[in-house]
A = this chain, B = another copy of it.
């Protein structure tokens, strides 16, 4: 192969807000597979708010260091065979922000033959499974309960609210901007959506959740988590999925009233990561696929073109410009 490999590196670690200037694009020689490795061609790269958190330090994985090829989870096609994989196999793993990666076979996961492949990132991927496990296996939701979801137009929130609706809950989203809120209501079928950029969030929660909030699915942390805490009903549950409002800053802030509000209202706040529920993924995928096929659950995807679009794509995602699951098409689907 005489092709070159395009990579995106983290040039400097951001101190405050992330910008495309923190990244650098370069061309290098094609990777070669060492013993136990295969070369994988990236097809669809997932962009996630968590990418930004990885730059703040070690989370559930090691931090991204300056000069590293930016870390990222992608679906790709095996191009040089190894012991477990053959050319043409569809796999997923931490391929990073690049067109080609030499990967240890053990670090790859075989992907099912499902089309469109993009669903393996959205409906059936981390987004869909995070929504499913977080709402049903961490928080729990009952018919007639009130569910509040932040980042409601995002990859996870858009599915959380729809599952809540399917389960018979009163579903209220929170998103940024009137247009996005209208989309959340009209296209995704949330009962209401609060515009945190223009509404008084605390007042709007009271208005749209007249019976209080039983479950808050938190993707953002910060002041919206604070407003939700005050609105929670006795024995309410908060599924802590992320804190996107707190990633893109040098000074994360915590809500007041912890632990006092938890005691007085007997609240449960629980952090989770989708991998914790791998043993129940089959059930999640079966339900999600069924809801999608019946038309009850709409899959929202937001696909950018070319690995070079990843830096601006992540910055835009942190600013909330995406609708549904954002990803980057790095190369064509396997034949």
Query: Considering the chains assembled together, what is the distance between the CA atoms of A53 and B260 in angstroms?
Result: 9
CB contact list, A208-259 vs B, under 8 A: 218, 221, 225, 235, 238, 240-243, 246, 252-259
- Contact indicator B268/A260 (Cβ below 8 Å): no
Query: Considering the chains assembled together, what is the distance between the CA atoms of A276 and B268 in angstroms?
Result: 13
By a CB distance below 8 angstroms, the chain B residues around A246 are 260
Known: A255-B254, A258-B254, A268-B268. A263 touches B241 (CB 8 A): yes
CB contact list, A100-158 vs B, under 8 A: none
Known: A240-B259, A254-B256, A258-B258. A270 touches B268 (CB 8 A): yes
- Contact indicator A270/B271 (Cβ below 8 Å): no
By a CB distance below 8 angstroms, the chain B residues around A53 are 260
Query: Considering the chains assembled together, what is the distance between the CA atoms of A276 and B263 in angstroms?
Result: 11
**CB-nearest residue of chain B to A247:** B260
Q: Is A183 an interface residue when CB atoms closer than 8 A count as contact? A: no
Interface range for A: 35 or more
Q: Is A264 an interface residue when CB atoms closer than 8 A count as contact? A: yes
Known: A59-B264, A264-B59. A259 touches B273 (CB 8 A): no
- Contact indicator A271/B276 (Cβ below 8 Å): no
By a CB distance below 8 angstroms, the chain B residues around A265 are 271
Q: Is A33 an interface residue when CB atoms closer than 8 A count as contact? A: no
- Contact indicator A243/B260 (Cβ below 8 Å): yes
A214 to chain B, nearest CB (A): 15
By a CB distance below 8 angstroms, the chain B residues around A258 are 221, 225, 254-255, 258, 269
**CB-nearest residue of chain B to A60:** B264
Known: A252-B256, A252-B257, A259-B218. A276 touches B272 (CB 8 A): no
Known: A259-B243, A260-B221. A269 touches B269 (CB 8 A): yes
CB contact list, A188-221 vs B, under 8 A: 218, 221
Q: Is A280 an interface residue when CB atoms closer than 8 A count as contact? A: no
Q: Is A267 an interface residue when CB atoms closer than 8 A count as contact? A: yes
Query: Considering the chains assembled together, what is the distance between the CA atoms of A269 and B257 in angstroms?
Result: 13
Query: Considering the chains assembled together, what is the distance between the CA atoms of A55 and B324 in angstroms?
Result: 47
By a CB distance below 8 angstroms, the chain B residues around A242 are 263
Query: Considering the chains assembled together, what is the distance between the CA atoms of A206 and B284 in angstroms?
Result: 39
By a CB distance below 8 angstroms, the chain B residues around A261 are 271
- Contact indicator B259/A267 (Cβ below 8 Å): no
- Contact indicator A270/B267 (Cβ below 8 Å): yes
